[in-house]
Structures are given as C-alpha cells and as structure tokens.
Amino acid sequence: MIHIEKPGMLTTIQDIGRQGFQQYGVIVSGAMDTLALQTANILVGNAQDEAVLEVTMGGLRFKTDDDCVVAMTGAAIQGTINGRDPLQSYRPVALKAGDTVQLGPLLSGCRNYIAFRGGIDVPAIMNSKSTYLRAGIGGYEGRALKKGDALTVYKHTAQQVKWQAELPHYAKKNWTVHVTAGPEWAQFTAESQQQFLTTRYNITAAADRMGYRLKGTPLQRVSAEELLSDAVLFGTIQVSNDAQPTVLLADRQTTGGYPRIAQVIASDLHVFAQMKPGDSIQFECVTLTESYALLTEQTQYLRKLAQAVRLQQL
C-alpha cells in the first residue's frame, strides 16, 4: 500500500487517456505530459501506458508499507526519501518498507510523474484508469488524492538498476513551440497570421488541465461569421471572441465552435504540461513532414530507452 500523507496542490492518477469514446462525448483526459509518463513507466519496467501519479506543483508526500520500485520524471524538483536522501529523477529507485517520499519545491517546470513497478491497482473505466475530475470518474474514486488515501500497488521485486534517462530541458521561462496551420488559418488576416508567429504570448492564471488561456497581440479574422462546432484535439489552438488564443489540453472538450488557428505538433505537447502561469511562449510554424520527423525522433528516444532497460534485466 502507498499511504498519502500530503497530497500537494493537485495529485491524480493518470494514464494515456480514455481513447475511442469521443464520438459519445467522453473526453480523453489522461496525462498532461505523456512523454514523462511513458519514460517513468519504461524506467520501472511497466507498459508505457500504465497509470501513474501526476503531481502538479509538488508538495506530495507518501509512505510505502512494503518494498517497491519507483521512478519520477517531469519537472525538476527537490525530492527526498525519509527527509535526508535525495530522490533522483529519471532513474528507477528502490524503496524499502516504511520509506517516506517527499516532493519539495519546484526548481523548474510544473508537473511530475511517479510510476510504480507493476502499476497502481484501481478500476479501469472505459479502458482507462485516468481521473476526469469534472465528471468524477476514473482514478481513485474519480477525484484528486487527499490525506489518508491508500493506494494498492502491484507487488514486484525491488531491484535497483543503474540507469539514467535523458533529462529534459524544462529550466526556462520563455518557450518556443512548433505548430502546424489549423483548419481556419486562412480565416485570419495576413497581419494576424504574422503576429501569431512573431510575438510572444503570456500564460494567464486561467490555466488548468482543460486548457491554457494566453494573452498577447489580438488576432483578427477576415470575417466574423459563426462556425459550426467541429472536432478539437490535444494542442488545438482556438481563438475566442476576445481575439486571444487558448491552447486545449488533456481535459479538453470533444468539439469546439471557435476558429482553430493552429495545432501544436505531437512531439511538443509535453512542453505545455510543464508551463505555468507567468511563462511566455512563441509559436513557430513547421510543415507536416517536419512534424513527423520530430515525432519519429521522440519515438526513437523511447524505444532506445526501453531497449536499454530491458538489457539490464529490470
């Protein structure tokens, strides 16, 4: 059992999401930073889509009553075991019965992911263990974790492995994210198209798992005609009636009626999970061919990491 002594600002159980149900109006949800989730699972020998703890802005403290292996990825953070030993990120760590893990202040980024070898034993709702807070489904009783909760972790041998994954570069306040032109790109004026790609936008306080509201140069359309609601994706950038963009994220709705000026490419989606209010962002447009190449590079990183871990017989 894993006993939650302090939940932090927001800690939920997430996997890669509730795939295949958007046609029924069920959102995908899942981890905000799927790259960090997959990396953590690989490091402890799990399937890449296994459920983990998603910790927002640190503060989590838990105690284990048996030996287990964990891996923490995502934001750079000061973590400790029993208040003295550092909890190293991006590598498997063997915990002993009675150990207490504490996540302290963030150094950079926003979210951490903690995988347990064997996975977390909670029911799968529509083929996913992910927590969707607004609907109260999935995860642990459909809610964020709180003090006193106890999670069952499948028991596995606590074997330590000397492997260190590549650390991401989250230590910055100003970000550049790659996008492709959205379905309604041509509905914006040439000046607004240029401004969208050359000016910086700030992430406002209206930022959660559903989406990040941005503030910057207003974006003007050629006409103000109403649009029919259409599909939206993780990373779809809509422009609302106040002419400001919103980046839709893990808990996004299934459809939207605002013009979609751009789409964040798949390999850059994890970057948004590590942003927080006050950070700024600039967009850079790439071709579909370039976006496929970047996604292939990320996929190869995960494949090589999995191969390296298997060779050490984790």
Residue 136, beta-bridge partner list: none
- The whole-angstrom separation of Cα 259 and Cα 209 is 21
Nearest Cα residue to 170 out of 76, 90, 255: 76
Cα 253 to Cα 15, 66, 233, 234, 256, distances in angstroms: 18, 40, 9, 10, 7
Q: Which residues of 8-25 are buried (b: 16+ CB within 10 A; e: fewer)?
A: bebbbbbbbbbeeebeee
3-state secondary structure of 33: coil
pLDDT for 2 beyond 60? yes
What does the angle CA 286 – CA 73 – CA 149 come to, to the nearest 5 degrees?
125
Contact 245, 199 (CB under 8 A): no
Residue 56, beta-bridge partner list: 10, 111
Contact 264, 247 (CB under 8 A): yes
Which residues contact residue 38 at a Cβ distance below 8 angstroms, ignoring those fewer than 6 apart? 16, 48, 49, 302
Categorize the per-residue pLDDT at 176 as very low, low, confident or very high, splitting at 50, 70 and 90: confident
Cα 156 to Cα 134, 196, 220, 236, 241, distances in angstroms: 33, 50, 56, 40, 53
Cα 53 to Cα 63, 83, 94, 153, distances in angstroms: 14, 20, 17, 12
Share of the chain above pLDDT 90, in %: 78
Which residues contact residue 313 at a Cβ distance below 8 angstroms, ignoring those fewer than 6 apart? none
Q: 24-42, pLDDT tens digit by residue?
A: 889 999 999 999 999 999 9
Global pTM reads 0.92
Q: 116-164, pLDDT tens digit by residue?
A: 999 999 999 999 999 999 999 999 999 999 999 999 998 665 455 555 5
3-state secondary structure of 39: helix
Nearest Cα residue to 87 out of 118, 53, 61, 121: 61
Cβ atoms within 10 A of the Cβ of 298, count?
15
Tokens of 275: 């942003």
What does the chain come to in residues?
314
Q: 53-97, pLDDT tens digit by residue?
A: 999 999 999 999 999 999 999 999 999 999 999 999 998 999 999
Lowest mean pLDDT among 160-169, 174-183, 273-282: 160-169
Cα 24 to Cα 27, 52, 209, 266, 306, distances in angstroms: 9, 26, 21, 24, 35
Q: For the chain, what is the mean pLDDT?
A: 91
Q: Which amino acid is at 53?
A: L
Q: 192-218, pLDDT tens digit by residue?
A: 999 999 999 999 999 999 999 999 999
